[in-house]
Amino acid sequence: MHYFTEYEQAVIEKFLEKLKKYTKNDYINKLSLFKSSISKYDKDLFHVEVEDCKNFIEFIQNKYAKSTCEKIYGYLHSFYNFLYKHGYIETNPFKFVKKPSVSRMKTKDDVMSFDEVNRLVSILDKLNIRDRVIVVFLLTTGCLLSELVSIKWKDFIIDEKNNYYCKIGSKKKERIIKLHPYLWELIIDYRKNLGMKYFFEPTDEFIFKGKDNQSITDRNIRLIVKKALSLAGLEKYSCKDFRHSFASFSLKLGCPDETIKQHLGWSDKYYAIRYKYVINFLDDQPIDYIMSTNKLKINDKE
């Protein structure tokens, strides 16, 4: 851990012990950023004042997107709640700092158009087979990065009608989603590239692995998507916009809010309200979860 004393490191490890690896790394990065801002005053994480916290939030608001600032604030507030509850500090200083907020309503800038999706599809051949699977998986399912990196070969299902499914999510958000035929073709090609058999064995291996033979990280996924979007000239978008686009296209089709809630793992179907404004900017052509319209070239690949 960078910037931390041995005592700080020990407490941070205790705080993070029940979290997943990628979440731990995210917390460490945010805590390191905060520690670097107070180190110049010879302060440690246990001796900060409200003013230090306010100055830090002002600093990140001038440097990062609103959504990123909100996330950083949330991480630090959570950490200092832990310190307070376990008696390391007398009060949580972030309790007295205004939380950065961002509108949850989605705009047309959060959603890709049909033409933009087609531009992305047109450059898929420039990616290696693994990266193609990753981009198409995100684009055609709207799943979260954390869900994608956790998928194992045992999570795939084929029914008697040769429909393809995948189990994603965990605990209360665990669900089974249907896969686009083109995505399935890519997955089969990916297996061939790995020297695996066509017939799936229910193994406990992650489908996307990093250098240590463990699951690929969400950071790796972001870099892959960033490269694909750059090749398509769509640098203004990011991974999260695939999910927004999926939700908006589905609503435009007339898919019930409850069905979208189940597919995307929303805790409440009223999340759909965030997308009601943006669907007015989409084409009038009916669409079926991004996939069933002749305006999308990806459907020609089935």
Dig out the tokens for 273 from the structure: 């309200």
**3-state secondary structure string, the chain?**
CCCCCHHHHHHHHHHHCCCCHHHHHHHHHHHHHHHHHHHCCCCCCCCCCHHHHHHHHHHHHCCCCHHHHHHHHHHHHHHHHHHHHCCCCCCCHHHHCCCCCCCCCCCHHHCCCHHHHHHHHHCHHHCCHHHHHHHHHHHHHCCCHHHHHCCEHHHEEECCCCCEEEEECCHHHCEEEECCHHHHHHHHHHHHHCCCCCCCCCCCCECCECCCCCECCHHHHHHHHHHHHHHCCCCCCCHHHHHHHHHHHHHHHCCCHHHHHHHHCCCCHHHHHHHCCHHHHCCCCCCCCCCCCCCCHHHHHC
Going 218 to 238 to 232 to 279, the CA torsion angle's sign is: positive
Q: pLDDT at position 272, please? A: 47
- Decide if domain 108-301 falls under CATH 3.40.50.1370: no
Q: 164-168 and 175-178 as β-strands: parallel, antiparallel, unpaired?
A: antiparallel
Domain with CATH 1.10.443.10 in the chain: 108-301
Domain with CATH 1.10.150.130 in the chain: 6-96
Q: pLDDT at position 64, please? A: 84
Q: pLDDT at position 259, please? A: 61
Q: Average pLDDT of each block of 10 consecutive residues along the chain (302 residues)?
A: 83 93 90 92 92 95 85 95 96 94 56 84 94 92 88 89 84 82 92 88 88 83 94 90 74 62 58 47 40 58 58
Q: What is the pTM of this model?
A: 0.58
CA 203, distance to chain mean position in Å, is 25
Going 43 to 46 to 48 to 49, the CA torsion angle's sign is: negative
Alpha-carbon distances of 214 from 1, 56, 149, 237, rounded to whole Å: 21, 35, 10, 28
Q: pLDDT at position 45, please? A: 96
Q: pLDDT at position 244, please? A: 75
- Decide if domain 6-96 falls under CATH 1.10.150.130: yes
Edge-to-edge strand order for the sheet containing 156-158? 156-158, 164-168, 175-178
